Amino acid sequence: MSTSYTGRDIQVLQGLEPVRLRPAMYIGNTSSSGLHHCFTEILDNAVDEALNGHCNKIDVIIGADNSVTVSDNGRGIPVDMHPVSGKNALETILTTLHSGGKFSQKNYQVSGGLHGVGISVVNALAEELRVTSYRDGFSFTQSFSQGNPKTKLTKAPLNGHVRGTEVYFRPDPEIFKDITFKTSVILERCRAKAFLTRGLKISVVDQINNQKEVFHYKEGIRDFINVLTAGKNCLLPEPFFLDHENDMRLELVLQWTPDTDSIVHSYANSIHTTGGGSHENGLKSGLTRAIREFISRNNLLPKGIKGMTADDVKEGLVAILSVFIKGNLEFQGQTKERLNSEVGPVVETMVRTAFENFLFHNPTSAELVVNRVLLACQARQASRLAQKTVRRQSYTKRLSLPGKLADCTSTDVNLTELFIVEGDSAGGSGKQARNRYYQAVLPMRGKILNVEQATSEKMQANKEIQDLINCLGTGLGKSFDYGRLRYGKICICTDADVDGYHISTLLLTFFYRYMPELIIRGNVFLAQPPLFQITIGSGKKQQVHYAYADQERDRFLAQDKNAVIKRYKGLGEMNVDELKETTLAPGKRRLLQVRIEDTVQTDQVFETLMGKDVSKRFLFIQENAGFVREVDV
């Protein structure tokens, strides 16, 4: 082992080298969400042109070559020589971190760009990136690869008055684990941008599936809330809407439903702040103070209720908050998931003043909101009393784990794994194949309750769900405590057939509705057992392979047409060694981490597939039946 450590051992990375060496620092990760973050960076640049009044049309193309192209009719990227870099301005922006026109308010009053790194990061992670700027009667084009210029800037005359920017991006397979863009993710992000920017038209062409979608909303976020509340019983006759501008512009639309959960989408300069932040905190404080003042002045607080909280106000709330901040905009990290700018007090004042005025001038709507909040307050206090009773009774009792659980020895959450398997047969094999020190197995008998349609009483009476809750140890809903989680990995492991997929969906519905933090923190996985065992050759030359999809099976068959194929219909058909090697053993198994890439779409999918409204599922089947290649009957 070398003991010398000198200045020669210190690396100084140049240009875009840091991005390629540590891409997760700039885009979060190199999986699907990181890939789509690159698309969002390109899209945000075009939207910034629209936010500042220079663009009203954006075109997106999902190419058959695993590329995306974003075009706008804005001002076009400058191409004149930069006085410091000695390169043209377009090349400077694409190849230099912390370069761009958004550090001052001279050219962009409002912008989602902060550090001048977005498009240069995308360029560094591209196998090919081609930018064309249309301005001054000419088109200027330059191509790049892995952050380096591949061509010089070329100039060609234009016919007619054309202006704008076109960016073609094909991701680098050396960086990304999956280079396939998901049409659904791109559509949802484009739709959200169109909702947030009234009058902006965004068209998306999917060349792979030969589809086209156009998003154009004259009412902006008021159209957005109609989408979020479709099929729900809304309390207010019309959503509350606020559009106010002082030093900062704020748009807000509110509605309440009888649901116990809430939907709050917050944005800052059209950037979706999935982690909330100061503006969202200001919204909650403003609403709470407005409702509390209305209740106090009208003496509406019932006897026995000590006081209402922000959680009571939030229950059943559907809200979209969009703020447009001039000047210094601060997010937490380059992925911009949380707003840090000190705008909380400003948002609180705006919301409190406007909503308090709304309540006093709309007595019917005020009564509906107040009754909804007080109902949540009563339920919370009753629940707290019940929890105290349960805690007192449980002081002398040990943790009650279901008898069918084969628990592990370790208590280290960073190490432990729980495999939820389908039926006693798979449970028996799993218990033998597992590593008893850190792997636990919980067999589920049949299909669990569909919690999307069930009442809380039915959930409490359902043994399978209660067994799962007891195993995990966190509690659920408002009583959820992540610090009490007993397993760091929760692996849903079901058969590769219709029933198995249905059980997986039921379990995911339960986790998403009642323990969403487990998904957000990356604790939930789908095990990917093989579909086929393929034996090639015989005797000492015999080789056993496993295929996880039909395409893999076909590749093995191309090598040897006499190969023996065994189709696994369920985990119970595998012997212990096979199950251990393919599904349980780290390093050999395949686990698919469950992630939420778009909360709006995710919520709508669960409601469509698992909700009470049968007509939504019928329409979904009609619209998607043509994409089904095989039907398991």
- In this predicted model, what pLDDT tens digit does every residue of 81-116 receive, in sequence order? 887 777 898 998 898 876 544 434 444 445 444 433
Higher pLDDT, 260 or 630: 260
> What span, in angstroms and rounded, lies between the C-alpha atoms of 167 and 160?
21
Among the listed residues 4, 142, 126, the one whose alpha carbon sits nearest the alpha carbon of residue 76: 142
Q: Of 165, 169, 71, 83, which is closest to residue 125 (Cα–Cα)? A: 169
Note the pTM of the prediction, 2 decimals: 0.63
464 domain residue, yes or no: yes
167 and 182 in a single domain? The answer is yes
Q: 190 with 311, same domain?
A: no
Cα–Cα distance for residue pair 352/314, rounded to 1 Å = 15
Structural domain contains residue 4:
no
If asked whether residues 115 and 98 sit together in one domain, one would say yes
Domain identity same for 488 and 561: no
| In a domain? residue 562 | yes
504 close to 529: Cβ distance less than 8 angstroms: no
* Res 206 pLDDT > 90: yes
Q: Given 189, 216, 243, which residue is the final one in a domain?
A: 216
Q: State how far the Cα of 518 lies from the Cα of 516, in Å rounded to an integer.
A: 5
Q: What is the CATH number of the domain that holds 144?
A: 3.30.565.10
Residue 511 shares a structural domain with residue 537? no
Same-domain status, 447 and 516: yes
**Could you tell me the two tokens for 565?**
């194929």
Residues 31 and 178 in one domain: yes
Residues 313, 361, single domain; the answer is yes
Burial class (CB in 10 A: 0-12, 13-18, 19+), 38: buried
Confidence label for 603 from pLDDT (cuts 50, 70 and 90): confident
**Domain that includes residue 433, residue range:** 400-529+576-596
Average pLDDT, the chain: 83
- Is the pLDDT at 420 greater than 50, yes or no? yes
In this structure, are 370 and 434 located in the same domain? no
Question: How far is Cα 598 from Cα 190, in angstroms, rounded to an integer?
Answer: 12
Checking phi first, is residue 411 left (phi over 0); if not, alpha (psi -120 to 50) or beta?
Answer: alpha
Confidence of residue 624 (pLDDT cuts 50, 70, 90): low
Instruction: Please report, for the domain that includes residue 366, its CATH number.
Output: 3.30.230.10
* Average pLDDT estimate for 516-541: 87
* Residues in CB range of 583: below 8 A, 6 or more apart: 433, 493, 527, 528, 529, 571, 574, 589
Residues with Cβ < 8 Å from 349, sequence gap 6 or more? 286
Neighbours of 183 (CB within 10 A): 15
Bigger pLDDT: 621 vs 62: 62
Vertex 454: Cα angle to 453 and 460 (nearest 5) = 160
Q: Let me know if residue 9 belongs to a domain.
A: no
Give whole-number Cα distances, 394 to 391, 400, 403, 472, in Å: 5, 10, 19, 17
What DSSP state is assigned to residue 174? T
Structure tokens at 108: 């962009």
62 has pLDDT over 80: yes
Percent of the chain with pLDDT over 90: 34
Last residue of a domain, one of 326, 356, 387: 387
Amino acid in position 358: F
**Residue 8: inside a domain, yes or no?**
no
* Residues that are catalytic: 422, 495, 497, 499
- How far apart CA 501 and CA 422 sit, in angstroms, is 11
Quick check: 389 pLDDT over 50? Answer: no
Confidence of residue 633 (pLDDT cuts 50, 70, 90): very low
**What domain count does the chain have?**
5
How far is it, in rounded angstroms, from Cα 463 to Cα 282?
A: 41
Number of Cβ atoms within 10 Å of the Cβ of 339: 27
Quote the DSSP letter at residue 583.
I
Residue 205 is assigned to a structural domain of this protein: yes
Between residues 360 and 398, the one the model is more confident about: 360
Q: What pLDDT is stored for residue 488 in this prediction?
A: 93
Residues 235 and 343 in one domain: yes
Within a domain: 247: yes
- Given 387, 414, 438, the domain boundary residue is 387
Element at 149 (helix H, strand E): strand 148-149
Same domain for 46 and 139? yes
Query: Sorting pLDDT into bands at 50, 70 and 90, what band is 117?
Result: low
Distance of CA 219 to the CA centre of its chain: 25
| pLDDT on residue 400 | 61
pLDDT over 50 at 391, yes or no: no
Residue 305 within a domain: yes
User: What value does the CA radius of gyration of the chain take, rounded to a whole number of Å?
Assistant: 28
236 and 376 assigned to the same domain: yes
- CATH number of the domain encompassing residue 419: 3.40.50.670
DSSP state of 66: S
pLDDT bin (cut points 50, 70, 90) of residue 10 is: low
Mean pLDDT computed over 229-246: 89
Lowest average pLDDT, out of 119-128, 214-223, 478-487, goes to 478-487
Among 239, 291, 234, which Cα is nearest to 259's?
A: 234
67 neighbors 168 (Cβ within 8 angstroms): yes
Q: Which two tokens stand for residue 478?
A: 């408002």
